[in-house]
A and B are shown apart, each in its own frame.
Chain A
Amino acid sequence: DAGVIQSPRHEVTEMGQEVTLRCKPISGHDYLFWYRQTMMRGLELLIYFNNNVPIDDSGMPEDRFSAKMPNASFSTLKIQPSEPRDSAVYFCASSPLPLGKAEQYFGPGTRLTVT
């Protein structure tokens, strides 16, 4: 398996623009997670899905952020409109089972820069 795939790897955009990050989880994994990492706040969980259904979105910072999982092999994280403080590395991870029973596999991340 190719592992968790994220695209793009780097994204530079101007403030106010819409940004869409994409993730393909490992086949057969029922859990998908979106994290954000910054120097100031470290690694934060934004939202996670189980069987394509959002389970916990309490980490989503505000309404400008939205995430979808239309099918088992694809998820998006959208920021509209983007702001400079959204600059961070965004990671997607997947797991076959609930935590404690299996590890999470992380993708390589998308480095987002909003100018």
Chain B
Amino acid sequence: DAKTTQPNSMESNEEEPVHLPCNHSTISGTDYIHWYRQLPSQGPEYVIHGLTSNVNNRMASLAIAEDRKSSTLILHRATLRDAAVYYCILSGNTGTASKLTFGTGTRLQVTL
């Protein structure tokens, strides 16, 4: 499985944008890029996913590099409720495409 690399932790001030980076230099042409987050004492929660084009939804934006070797999750205005571990995950669009392989993620701390 293609691997992802994320910083262990990041800090942000409330109400400011947050850019969470992810490197995936071994990504294949059919791999989707998924982001999930896990709040304390909860199960992981889907945030966003994409293949090649940038994606926006009500929670966040996903910016994908042109060569697809990296991507950035953008939280436009961080709140205290966004403090969580954010996972960047690759999935193949093949017969085993239903698997998610979680890495260690980035722990986001949001302060007042």
Q: Which residues in A have some Cβ–Cβ distance to B below 8 Å?
A: 4, 31, 33, 42-45, 48, 50, 55-56, 91, 93, 95, 98-100, 103-109
Contact = CB atoms under 8 A, between A and B. Distances in A.
Contacts of A45: 99-101
A106 B45 contact: yes
B101 to A, nearest CB: 7
Contacts of B44: 43, 91, 93, 104, 106
Contacts of B102: 42-44
A56 B99 contact: yes
A99 B49 CA distance: 10
Contacts of A56: 96, 98-99
A99 B99 contact: yes
User: Interface residues of B toward A: which range?
Assistant: 20 to 34
Interface in B83-105: 87, 91-93, 96-105
B111 to A, nearest CB: 24
A105 B93 CA distance: 19
B104 A98 contact: no
Contacts of A31: 98
Contacts of A107: 43
A100 B91 CA distance: 7
Contacts of A103: 34, 46, 49
A95 B98 contact: yes
Contacts of B46: 103-105
B32 A100 contact: yes
B99 A109 contact: no
A83 to B, nearest CB: 23
Given A31-B98, A100-B97, 12 more contacts: A43-B44, A44-B102, A50-B98, A91-B44, A99-B34, A99-B98, A100-B92, A104-B100, A106-B43, A106-B44, A107-B43, A109-B42
Nearest to B47: A103
Nearest to A50: B98
A36 to B, nearest CB: 11
